[in-house]
Chains A and B, each alone.
Chain A
Amino acid sequence: MVNKDHVVCILLALVVIYPILNPIGLPILIHEDSLRFYDEIEALPPDSLVLVGFDGTYMGLPRILPLSLAIGNELFEKPIKIVFISTCAWGAEAPTLLETMIFPELDMQDKVYGVDYVNLGFYPGQEPTIAALAADVHSVVGTDFHGTSIDKLPIMEYFKSAKDITLFVGIGSAGIIDVYVRQFNLPYGTPEIFMVTAMGQLKARPYLEAGQVRAILVDVLGIAEYELLIGRPGEAIASSDVVSTTHILLVFIVIITNISYYVNKYMSKTSKKGDE
């Protein structure tokens, strides 16, 4: 007897490998969500302060990397200040990820560390920590990720509390979107945009509809759309074919399993009648 799980796994592997070896090039439509996300970043005035809540993990790297490169290159092109911080429970590895895999790949222009951008590192505690950061950053953060006192970093003169933030960009931190809305948006009116996973959009969408979050970018397809909008094709565009073929397979499996359910039901009914 063939194991059904193994058949599904093999089929899944095939529909993932096929477009990798033979790219199909299915068209990518730009959705309103991605357009709003793009507009929020493009509308940043000079000398803005952008706080990037970076909570990427090594496990989520295939999604986080293309997005971080796309957003990072776009932000570093602008005459703005960028502060990176990790606050989620799963964000312990995020600052190292940022230093080893994201920063070396970015086109930093003429930006100087400590003056134009800084990596503050990981601050656990979630709700109380984020509330304290929003009220007074200097009372919580002692040093940056490299152990340099923040008093020696000129960029931190511009960042005292949530009031100084022009835009908050959440990458990998959509799991605590409610905390950021409660502690940043509600008391200080900080505009927030988030990159969310397909699963995370269900949590994020009510905040988007209520206007508490300005824009969301949904998973790989959203990142592919963003790459198209900024004119920097990257890994996400290459992955969009895989997303489409996998969706087709899953829909096909759902239809087949439903048909087999009703066929089995009908067969068992007719066999019961036959027995009688």
Chain B
Amino acid sequence: MKMDMILVEKVIGLFLTLFVFSYLIKPGRFFRIAEHIFLGLNYGYVLVIGIKTFYSVFWVNVFEKEMYLGLVGLFLGVLMYSRIIPGIPPSYRRFPMAILIGCSVGLAGTMSLEAGILQQLISTIKLPLTTAGLLTNSSNLIYMISLFTSVFYFTFTWKGGKVGENIRLLGRYFVLVMIGVLYGNVIMTRLPGFENRMRVLATPEGLVIVLVFSVIYYANHVYDKRQTQERVESPLD
């Protein structure tokens, strides 16, 4: 029974993978099917998790642990849904949103200065001074040049003549290298998922499903073409 389920999961997974890959040829019917299945499952799942979280965070704390302050949270939460009831002024839903954003900004803001700015500045200055070794030193040299030139690149108010222009150009190259690295990393981050799908597709069952899907895709393509032709030949008016 477990083996059957694994096989069913594998077949569904393979078909959905091919449905999504069909986007590379043309964003058609198959891609939309996979898209809608994904969205439907996702929203359904999130709803279930939401109810579970509501029970764990609100119900247990308020009614079992008697932490009645949670009722204020419930009231604010309900106010957020006032958007769906016509006639209720927008200020009702703005109030809980303001509290939520205010809390987040307050919590993050007080710590951000220390965690995100001060510590980073200290380590930026300390790094070239605390590391040793020839290779590390040459890296430090590149590090310092890239730091100085890319910061200089963003000083738009002072031109700095020919020298300033050249420094700015070097800074722009460093920024471009950084963007290139970022983009390359985005692709490499998606690679394990692609590899996993290829690993499943490169099996005998995978190849059978590729073949079956190719036939279905071709039949659908012929059907669509014929429909379009018929519509062109016999216009409604």
The residues of A with any CB-CB pair to B shorter than 8 Å are 5-6, 9, 12-13, 16-17, 20-21, 59-63, 92-93, 121-124, 126-128, 131, 139-143, 147, 149, 178-179, 181-183, 185-187, 197-202, 206, 209-212, 219-220, 239, 242-243, 246-247, 250
CB pair B202–A17 under 8 Å, yes or no, is: yes
Mostly helix, strand, loop or mixed at chain B's interface?
A: helix
For A187, list chain B residues within 8 Å (CB): 111
The tally of CB-CB contacts under 8 A between chains A and B is 137
8 intermolecular pairs with C-beta atoms under 8 Å apart: A60-B192, A122-B53, A127-B104, A128-B104, A199-B188, A219-B189, A220-B191, A243-B188
CB pair A242–B202 under 8 Å, yes or no, is: no
Q: Which B residues between 164 and 192 are near A, CB-CB below 8 angstroms?
A: 181-182, 184-189, 191-192
For A122, list chain B residues within 8 Å (CB): 49, 52-53
For B186, list chain A residues within 8 Å (CB): 198-199
CB pair A92–B57 under 8 Å, yes or no, is: no
CB pair B189–A206 under 8 Å, yes or no, is: no
Any A CB within 8 A of the CB of B122: yes
Looking at the complex, which one of A143, A197, A199, A242 makes contact with B56 (CB distance below 8 Å)? Answer: A143
For A140, list chain B residues within 8 Å (CB): 57
CB pair A149–B64 under 8 Å, yes or no, is: yes
A16-B198, A199-B186, A246-B188 as given contacts; A210 in contact with B59, CB under 8 Å: no
Q: How far is the CB of A149 from chain B (nearest CB, A)?
A: 6
For B194, list chain A residues within 8 Å (CB): 12, 16
CB pair A198–B123 under 8 Å, yes or no, is: no
CB pair A93–B49 under 8 Å, yes or no, is: yes
CB pair B199–A20 under 8 Å, yes or no, is: yes
Looking at the complex, which one of A21, A123, A179, A242 makes contact with B57 (CB distance below 8 Å)? Answer: A123
Any A CB within 8 A of the CB of B237: no
CB pair A143–B55 under 8 Å, yes or no, is: yes
The residues of B with any CB-CB pair to A shorter than 8 Å are 24, 45-46, 49, 52-53, 55-61, 64-65, 67, 100, 103-104, 107-108, 111-112, 114-116, 119-120, 122-123, 127, 181-182, 184-189, 191-196, 198-199, 202
CB pair A121–B53 under 8 Å, yes or no, is: yes
Q: How far is the CB of A249 from chain B (nearest CB, A)?
A: 11
In the bound complex, what is the Cα–Cα distance between A154 and B208 (angstroms)? 51
Q: How far is the CB of B192 from chain A (nearest CB, A)?
A: 4
User: Nearest 6 CB-CB pairs, A to B?
Assistant: A142-B60, A182-B111, A62-B196, A210-B123, A62-B192, A198-B185
Chain A residue with Cβ nearest B62? A142
A16-B195, A185-B115, A199-B186 as given contacts; A127 in contact with B56, CB under 8 Å: no
CB pair A5–B24 under 8 Å, yes or no, is: yes
CB pair B49–A92 under 8 Å, yes or no, is: yes
For A179, list chain B residues within 8 Å (CB): 108
CB pair B123–A209 under 8 Å, yes or no, is: yes
CB pair B123–A206 under 8 Å, yes or no, is: yes
In the bound complex, what is the Cα–Cα distance between A9 and B111 (angstroms)? 45
